[in-house]
Amino acid sequence: MIFTHKHRIGFRIFFTLFTLLLIVLSVGLAFAVSININNKNIENFILEKPSLPSVVLDRNGEVISELVGVEQRTLLEFNDLPKYQVFALLTREDNPFFRHNGFSVRGFSRAVFSILKNGNLDGGGGSTLTQQLAKIRLDNVFNRSIFTKLEELWEAWQVERQYSKQEIFQMYLNKVNFGHGAYGIEAISNYFFEHSARENSAAESVMSVIQVARPTLYSPFRNPSGAKKVQRRVLDQMVLNGYISAEDADKSFATYWLNHDWSRDGAENVHSARKRDDKAPWFTEYVREELKNLLYGTQDPYKDGYTIHTSLDLNYQAAADKFVLSRLTKVRDGFKNQSNAKKELVYNQFSPIISLMGLVSNIKDIKVEDKAKQQKEHDYFNKSLSPQIRLLSLISGINSLNSVSQYSLNESKDTLDNQIETALITVDNTNGQILALIGGSKFEYTNQLNRVLNPDVQISPGSAFKPLYMSAGISSNKLTAGTHFTDKPKTFVLDGAEPYTPNNYGGHWYGHVLLRYALNKSLNIPAIESLEKIGFDDAISRSAALLGITDPSVIRRKFDRKFPMALGTTTVSPGQMVRAFATFANQGKANDPYGIKFIENQNGAIITHVEDDMLQKSYRPENQIMSAQDAYIMTSILETTKAPGGTLNYGWRTEEKYGIGFNGMAIAGKTGTSQNWKDSWAVGYSPYYTTSLWYGFDKGSNTLGQNNNGAVLAGFVWAKYMAEIHKDLPVKQFFRPNGIIERTICAVSGDLASQNCPDTIREVYKTGTEPTTFCEYHTFVQEARNETIFKIMDLIEVEISPDQNILNSIKMETDFFENSEPESNSDEDLSIDELWD
């Protein structure tokens, strides 16, 4: 059947009349049945609390960040809106808004006809702002039919009955989705333009409202060319409507694009943008994860507007970022230059030789000159051209260019394993509260592994591990600070294992040493002999307790019962190490690190008090890992590492150059370097705080190099950072409990000093563990020397009177001794075994 023009007109008239009749019947029926229910629903919808982000505060009340979920809303009053924001929305969505009663017959009929003809609303929605507000309440954004349109019409009529036009306009702008995770005009303005909607220009007002129909389709960051065209079209329409002059529209448009940030990432949203501006992104992410265990049921940190009080100190965090990350940049540059130098050596020296060999032997695979050139071109593309191509894609609107730039992104991901990383955590000794946290280098999409607190992190601590198991020897009285060792080459044999022959750093051997000095110099033979004295069971049990590892299966898997364990082959995280050393500082009582103190709701009521819970937990008997006396002895030993020759002394040796100093503040700690110099550690404490710092590689077998060992790299940065955060604190010394005594001992044998001992020191002991015998070593040396002298005198027939001292007689024979050349000029260079020989 062919419809004539008259038929079509008749059909439209019939359809319009039918639609109006249907509307009247539907509205009347709905009004009769549900007027009371809908009035209540509308009132609840208008008065309901909007989704508000939670605020994360540091311990001084400073804002660290906001926790933003899918929605982020900030409310504005109608009178706060600039006039162009109102005009832009009217022009784009509903120009007769202030003249109708919430319903447009023409628009509604057009929508119904589109549904009947096409099965969708491609012909236009025909909704007023009031109807769109009703659609949000009914959650009909993706459910569009005749019945939903009728439902929206009823809701819109209810809204118009109860609220003024200004209130409806205000509610709409505060609730509508603008894309990029921003709900509300204030949120999208802050995200797009980095200022409040109160300051929006005409062009900015238009850019925000064109997001409403299809969020992000015309995003200025994802589709700048499309957004620019629509923005210009709406501005021209505002000129036609008399809302703005043509001159002002042109000026605002030109200014907008002149100042547009073409480098912004279109894949970002409000959530990720907040991370970018976060003052402590690693800590905020930690808080976000902790809230999953602290909030229950319908409690939502992204909507309920909690105030989260934390222990972080933003001043300390800024110091950590300053020293740790700046040093990381320098180390990365050095590693990169070293790698490039190796490549250049291959390109410039070996490539021509290999290519010549390829020509002579006619082997194509080793003609590498072209490959070397291609590699250089490849590097240039990744570093220089790719970002420019992406920028060109955004400006020109040629999306295909963007796929080309992704090539370098994929390539860069392959190099992550070769990237030097870092991690730092500072805690309060007395309670474990986290004061500063760096989980890695820059926090971003490709780097979110928190190397401080993630239990899956596996980093070898090197010699920084030694104090953990040695403390078991102090507790069991098998070791004291004055226990004697002989540092010389030795092979250790364990049933079922290969013989183990360790070396010292630098290949030096020190002969007779006491435990204090051995740990000060990080000597390996005394460390393994200490492990032998303690026994694997006690050493592992104590180390696990200090690290906070309680699962027996994890303990069995993590601690390898072999001698290399004594040198720090067990893998740990910086968070575990800071817990262990803070236990020494806290008189033997362990505290688990935590960062959230308490949480308040919008009314100021505390809903979770983590600080109280952690305080109660600290009183558990198992948290007292060692006695206060044991902890003090370990602290006293670890204080020595700051002394000349100690592994933490590097920073202080350069005090004049770098201004590092603690002005008398007590400091103790230990550095560590893993095998092949892959990891550089420094862990230590003052009477106030403990800090664990690490540099190294997540994976692979790369090396930081000998010049970046624990003392030089981590130890130096650790000292600078700790000096910075202590500069305004009163000077304190470590608490000395009762039950500690001092004795003057021989610096060589560790026994009570006799008059024959050339070098003596004052050493601390737990009462009952102090030495009780005098040094026989130097007495024996003196007697052996005297006997030798008498024999020499007999040979040369020198007589002495009974009242003459042997030492005076030795001086009489100076010519004899001056002409001789003994192998050693120090008794301490001889071992006890060598003396017997």
Residues 787 and 700 in one domain: no
- pLDDT tops 70 at residue 223: yes
List the one residue out of 693, 687, 691 whose CA is nearest residue 710: 693
Higher pLDDT, 645 or 808: 645
**The predicted structure's pLDDT at residue 282:** 93
Predicted pLDDT at 107? 56
Put simply, whether the predicted model's pTM sits higher than 0.75 gets the answer no
pLDDT in tens, 733-784: 999 999 999 999 999 999 999 988 999 999 999 999 999 999 988 876 666 6
Is pLDDT at 786 greater than 90 in this prediction? no
452 pLDDT more than 50: yes
pLDDT in tens, 386-441: 555 555 555 555 555 555 555 444 444 445 557 899 999 999 999 999 999 999 98
Q: Kindly tell me if the per-residue pLDDT of 794 is higher than 80.
A: no
pLDDT tens-digit series, residues 243-252: 999 999 999 9
Helix 202-209 vs helix 246-258: angle between axes, to the nearest 10 degrees? 70
306, part of any domain:
no
Confidence of residue 273 (pLDDT cuts 50, 70, 90): low
CA distance 828 to 778: 9
Mean pLDDT along residues 6-20: 61
Determine the pLDDT at residue 811.
41
Q: Greater confidence, 53 or 26?
A: 53
Backbone dihedral region of 705: left (phi > 0), alpha (psi from -120 to 50 degrees) or beta? left
Same-domain check for residues 146 and 22: yes
How much is the pLDDT for 724?
Answer: 94
Is residue 363 in a domain? no
Domain CATH for 514: 3.40.710.10
786 with 708, same domain: the answer is no
pLDDT (mean) for 538-560? 95
Contact 497, 491 (CB under 8 A): no
Q: 619 to each of 545, 612, 614, 643, how far by Cα in Å?
A: 15, 11, 9, 35
Kindly state whether residue 431 falls inside one of the protein's structural domains: no
What is the CATH classification number for the domain harbouring 187?
A: 1.10.3810.10
Q: How far apart are CA 671 and CA 509, in angstroms?
A: 19
Provide the number of structural domains found in the chain: 3
Choose one of 232, 251, 270: the last residue of a domain: 251
At a CB cut-off of 8 Å and minimum separation 6, what does 551 contact?
Answer: none
Report yes or no on 373 lying in a domain: no
Q: 365-374, 543-552, 800-809 — which is least confidently predicted? A: 800-809
pLDDT bucket at 694, cuts 50 / 70 / 90: very high
Looking at the fold, whether 565 and 685 belong to one and the same domain comes out as: yes
Are residues 707 and 781 located together in one domain of the fold? Answer: no
Residue 675, in any domain of the structure: yes
Residue 464 within any structural domain of the chain: yes
Give CA–CA dist 168/162, Å, rounded: 10
Among 234, 251, 268, which residue terminates a domain?
251
- The pLDDT value given to residue 834: 34
Supply the pLDDT for residue 35: 45
Burial 237-276 (b: 16+ CB within 10 A, else e): bbbeeebbeeebbbebbeebbeebeeebebebbbbebbbe
Write down which residue in 712, 727, 755 finishes a domain. 712
Q: Give percent above pLDDT 70 in the chain.
A: 69
Domain with 687 in it: 456-590+625-712
Tell me, yes or no, whether 135 and 217 share the same domain. Answer: yes
Q: Are 88 and 161 within one domain?
A: yes
Asked whether residue 508 falls in the same domain as residue 642, the answer is yes
Whether residues 802 and 690 fall in one domain: no
Q: Does the pLDDT value for residue 546 go beyond 80?
A: yes
The per-residue pLDDT for range 560-570, each reduced to its tens digit, is 999 999 999 99
Give the pLDDT mean for 92-121.
66
Q: Is residue 190 domain-resident? A: yes
Q: Is 676 found in the same domain as 572?
A: yes
Residue closest to 23 by CA, chosen among 147, 134, 110: 147
> Residues 211, 104: one domain?
yes
| Token pair of 145 as six digits | 């039919």
Task: Decide if 164 is inside a domain.
Answer: yes
Query: Do 461 and 566 lie in a common domain?
Result: yes
Instruction: Quick: pLDDT tens for 286-343.
Output: 998 999 889 987 888 888 889 999 999 999 999 999 999 999 999 988 887 765 555 5
What pLDDT shows up at residue 802?
Answer: 47
Q: What is the pLDDT of residue 826?
A: 34
